[in-house]
Amino acid sequence: MKLNLFTKSIRLGFTAATISLFSSQGMAADARLILADKNTAIDNQYIVVFKKDTAKSKQSFNKLVSRMSAEHSINVIKQYKSSLNGALVIANDAQIEALRKEADIDFIEQDRKFTIEPVITTQTDQPNPTWGLDRVDQRNLPLNNLYQYDQYDQDGSSVTAYVIDTGIRNTHNDFNGRASSGWDFIDNDNDASDCNGHGTHVAGTIGGSAYGVAKNVNLVGVRVLNCSGSGTYSGVISGIEWVSSNASGPSVANMSLGGPSSAAVDAAVNAAVASGITFVVAAGNDNGANACTRSPAGAANALTVGSTTSTDQRSGFSNIGTCVNIFAPGSSITSTWHTSNSASNTISGTSMASPHVAGVAALILQQSPTATPAMVLNTLTTNGTPNVIGNVGTGSPNVLLYSKLSTQPPTLPSVTQKWADFSTNDGWSSQVVGDFDDDGRDDIANFHPSNGTWWVSRSTGSNFNTTQWSDYSTNDGWTSQVVGDYNGDGKDDIANFHPSNGTWWVSLSNGTSFTTAKWADFGTNSGWTTQVAGDFNGDGKDDIANFHPSNGTWWVALSTGSGFTTVKWADFSTNSGWTTQIVGDYDGDGKDDIANFHPSNGTWWVARSTGSGFSVSKWADYSTNSGWTSQLAGDYNNDGLSDIANFHPSNGTWWVSYSLGSNFTTDKWADFSTNSGWSSQLAGDISGDGRDDVVNYHPSNGTWWLSESSGSSFATSLLSDYSTNSGWSTQVLGDFDGDGRQDIANFHPSNGTWWLTFAD
């Protein structure tokens, strides 16, 4: 059945076959089942997607698939290990219903077929350059009949562009031997030749010598559609999987295809992007429909492209909305064709817009080979031409692709500088932040346990000046160091706890050094394992609360300014399973309180200070979310009450429990499933708007991601990329330059250096 381009199916950015998508609502414990309509469904063929935490290694994945096949007598056709964490299976209705009850399965999606029917306008003479190339290298109309690189001559050299499509005519003269076959998932061989034309056209726009944006990029065809433009969702996922597994070096993938929303396709794209490959996709040609309802256009991490005309109007067929990242020329685009080695054709669609963007992405990757997909996206959108597109569509960004790049690498909204190199002091094991000299800028105190010395790195506003502030060689058994202003003079001090004898020693700052004295001896309470500082009685001096897990008691050491007076403030013997304790003013009365988390049942209990004791009550029960491993206190909505952000590493979600003064209301603020490798999370006001934000560190690639609070959700973007500094093991927040915004200090223990990151 022939249909219009990009209407109601998965298709090639400019044509489609009708497909509808609906979800079968089963029992709460059942895996979600997504079915195709009878016109496009492939009988008894399903894509099974496993939960992320069930197959963490190749061995466990293989065992899971084997068990599924054996227990349910299911034929496994293909495994998706690199992108989707799933498999393609043959199964009947009864077997699928049995699979839905498996705890390891996230969802099951019926495979479907799709067909393309290109709308093509033939043009005998190809202008030089094409109007699309002519448009993207200049800011404004009229066209000047030239396509030029910038003065630094990026042409895509050493970059590979993967074209997931109908294949490529590799022998076309415009490719000059740079095109090759990856894999053909239609014929299941390594000859991805094109017998349709669409893939060759897309490849020509990305990297043809006459028609292409990046004229020296390497082109690899990954064929997932047959000669008539038909294919399956499972075939598209196979193509994504192949690129994820085989891409090497700086790479970009183009998908000028799409269809109704597919959880499986979107998950595969998101996983591929998380692996470091930029995926550029077409927004779709449904005459102004919401691109978020299409796949892969709606995939969270895809770089989605809408189409414009030669008069800078949005193409009437182009989809719109918040999932669109950028626009590029897509109406009446001339490029290479499959019928001969010199053939060309002129066709229209967001399929034609997407490869323009993929070509510029290749230029960016040539300039900065280690650029992450987020950096490529940021460069494309910030370098694009703003506010020139007419009728851009509700929710769409008014940004048109611009191909000329600056000499600088892709920009990020931060600046990183080395502030100190203490190579001779690389034995430091504890680093704490405080304003130790009361100058309005935070400093860092570094403790060396082997000789009991404190070295303070005082901020000058542009670097650290480090000197030894004290030598407690006889007290090298200290294991806990807690910063607070214990005498109320405006300068932060450090309280040091010795667990073997239960003593507290306070190092009072005079602005240039520490004077240390024993403030308390709690020898009978040496079982304390958690110590937190806060002003629990509201007198302007910080105190210390000590938790004893074996009997569930809190003992508060109230500061007199020169010593501690310690009393039991609470006995929670029945709640001794608490493992996380976080200080904050949760009721806004000016006295600090303590929130206690019980991971086995997912409950939060808040110990509200009365000034002389704790009043404890359950504020929330998140039993279904007991997998949270990071909890951060902050005022995320700027209402004067402390809230808690909870991170779930297995699915990469943030849940914020915002305080109402007497309980917590919890909402999901962000879902970063593709970034579940984050291992460090810090809370502070990074943007300076009065609302606390969260920064997330990914050690395997050295990136920081900023989750900026809007007051009701987090908007997450790449803050910085320190791929060459992935050895950092300590990260702390502080206002080190005194501008009212929190900065990130990163410590590299192997060379003793501190690197400071400041948000622009």
Is residue 666 included in any domain, yes or no? no
Share of residues in the chain with pLDDT > 90 (%): 52
Same domain as 542, residue 406: no
Element (H, E) at 603: strand 603-609
Same domain as 373, residue 249: yes
Terminal C-alpha separation, the chain = 54
Q: Which residues are catalytic?
A: 165, 198, 351
CB atoms within 10 A of CB 30: 17
Q: Report the C-alpha gap between 48 and 725 in whole angstroms.
A: 38
CATH, residue 175: 3.40.50.200
> If DSSP codes are grouped into helix, strand and coil, which group holds residue 386?
strand
Amino acid at 129: P
Same domain as 299, residue 261: yes
Same domain as 146, residue 103: no
Q: What is the mean pLDDT of residues 208-235?
A: 94
- Output 566-571 pairs: Cβ under 8 A, ≥24 positions apart: 566/520, 566/522, 566/525, 569/536, 569/545, 569/607, 569/609, 569/612, 569/613, 569/614, 570/607, 570/613, 570/614, 570/616
Task: Provide the 8-state DSSP code for 625.
Answer: G
Of the CA atoms within 13 Å of residue 572, those in its CB half-sphere come to 28
> Is 686 within 8 Å of 759 (Cβ atoms)?
yes
> Which residues, in sequence order, are CB contacts of 57 under 8 Å at separation 6+?
none
Overall domain count for the chain:
3
- Position 755 scores a pLDDT of 85
Is residue 453 included in any domain, yes or no? no
Same domain as 134, residue 110: no
Radius of gyration of the chain (CA): 30
Same domain as 200, residue 68: no
Q: What is the DSSP string of 475-537?
A: GTT--EEEEE-SSSSSS-EEEEEETTTTEEEEEEE-SSSEEEEEEEE-GGGTT--EEEEE-SS
By CB atoms closer than 10 A (0-12, 13-18, 19+), residue 461 is exposed
Q: Is the pLDDT confidence value at 54 over 70?
A: yes
- Of the residues 611, 626, 641, the one at which a domain ends: 626
Q: Report the C-alpha gap between 521 and 315 in whole angstroms.
A: 76
- Position 58 scores a pLDDT of 64
Same domain as 539, residue 402: no
Q: Report the C-alpha gap between 355 and 705 in whole angstroms.
A: 28
What are 119's two structure tokens? 């709308």
What are 80's two structure tokens? 């998706």
Most confident of 146-155, 440-449, 565-574: 440-449
Q: What are the pLDDT digits (tens) for 685-703?
A: 998 888 999 998 877 777 8
Tokens 């002091």 locate to: 425
Domain that holds residue 155: 126-411
Share of residues in the chain with pLDDT > 70 (%): 85
CATH, residue 53: 3.30.70.80
Same domain as 140, residue 110: no
- Of the residues 384, 411, 438, the one at which a domain ends: 411
Is residue 294 included in any domain, yes or no? yes
- Of the residues 114, 145, 165, the one at which a domain ends: 114
Q: Please report which confidence band the pLDDT of residue 745 belongs to, taking 50, 70 and 90 as the band edges.
A: confident
Is residue 419 included in any domain, yes or no? no
Q: Is the pLDDT confidence value at 19 over 70?
A: no
Q: What angle do CA 493, 497, 503 make, to 5 degrees?
A: 110
> Is 282 within 8 Å of 349 (Cβ atoms)?
yes
- Peptide linkage before 142 cis (omega within 30 of 0): yes
Q: Are strands 179-184 and 218-223 parallel, antiparallel or unpaired?
A: parallel
Q: What are the pLDDT digits (tens) for 95-139?
A: 999 999 998 999 999 999 876 644 444 333 334 688 988 898 888
Is residue 430 included in any domain, yes or no? no
Q: Is the pLDDT confidence value at 491 over 60?
A: yes
Same domain as 394, residue 285: yes
Amino acid at 478: W
By CB atoms closer than 10 A (0-12, 13-18, 19+), residue 670 is buried
Q: What are the pLDDT digits (tens) for 375-433?
A: 899 899 988 998 899 999 999 999 999 998 864 444 456 777 888 776 655 566 778 99
Q: Please report which confidence band the pLDDT of residue 55 belongs to, taking 50, 70 and 90 as the band edges.
A: low
Is residue 681 included in any domain, yes or no? no
- Position 151 scores a pLDDT of 52
Same domain as 231, residue 131: yes
Is residue 457 included in any domain, yes or no? no
Is residue 513 included in any domain, yes or no? no
Same domain as 57, residue 138: no
Q: What are the pLDDT digits (tens) for 343-377?
A: 999 999 999 999 999 999 999 999 888 888 988 99
Q: What are the pLDDT digits (tens) for 632-677?
A: 999 999 999 999 998 877 777 888 999 999 999 888 887 665 445 6
Same domain as 348, residue 369: yes
